[in-house]
Amino acid sequence: MHRQRYSSAVIKNFLARQTATKNLLATNDAVTKNKAYCDVFINHRGIDTKRTLATLLYDRLSRQKLKPFLDNKNMKPGDKLFDHIDNAIRNCKVGIAVFSPNYCKSYFCLHELALFAESKKKVIPIFCDVKPSQLSVTDNGNVPEKDLLRFESALEEAKCTVGLTFDSLE
């Protein structure tokens, strides 16, 4: 029960900030006409947060009449993964990056975060069961050097952005 109340408090805090963000959302309408777009793109590590915080955010934002993007809600079989997600990020109005313990182990999460930065999108970080200082890109030898640099730059920018914290154990 305490966990549910804490989740609700984090979401209410986030939604209160959305009021200030609505002006930002209105400015990009011309860019997104005739394109599949969303108001808010939810970047997350599925194994950590898809069934909890990411879905809760999606549901609450939908009830606020915003158009959130969450991969399992907005994609269907046959969609080109990178094309669909990259298009959604490029045409979204704001991004939410839900950082979690396994976030930096995912090429996809880091690619999406880098694309936010390269597209000059506003990103609201949520630190879920992790502190900003615990986040780092690890080079396992499988990621090209140019991507490592993109990922490190985007991650450092996000870590220096005021965000929200969420502790699922409390």
pLDDT tens digits, one per residue of 152-163: 999 999 999 999
Range scoring the smallest mean pLDDT among 27-31, 34-38, 76-80, 129-133: 27-31
pLDDT digits (tens, 9 = 90+) for 109-118: 999 999 999 9
Give the C-alpha separation, 142 to 23, whole Å: 41
Phi and psi torsions of 14, nearest 5° = -60, -45
Residue of 112, 145, 152, 170 with catalytic role = 112
State the pTM of this model.
0.79
Cα separation of 153 and 123, whole Å?
Answer: 14
Helix (H, G, I), strand (E, B) or coil at 58: helix
Superfamily of domain 2-166: Toll/interleukin-1 receptor homology (TIR) domain (3.40.50.10140)
112 catalytic? Reply is: yes
Q: Does 104 have pLDDT greater than 70?
A: yes
**In sequence order, what are the residues at sequence separation of 6 or more whose Cβ sits closer than 8 angstroms to the Cβ of residue 123?**
43, 94, 95, 96, 97, 113, 116, 117, 157, 158, 161
Residue 15: is its pLDDT beyond 70? no
Residue range 26-71, pLDDT digits in tens: 444 444 343 557 999 999 999 999 989 999 999 999 999 999 999 8
The structural domains of the chain, with segments of one domain joined by +, span 2-166
Who has greater pLDDT, 55 or 13? 55
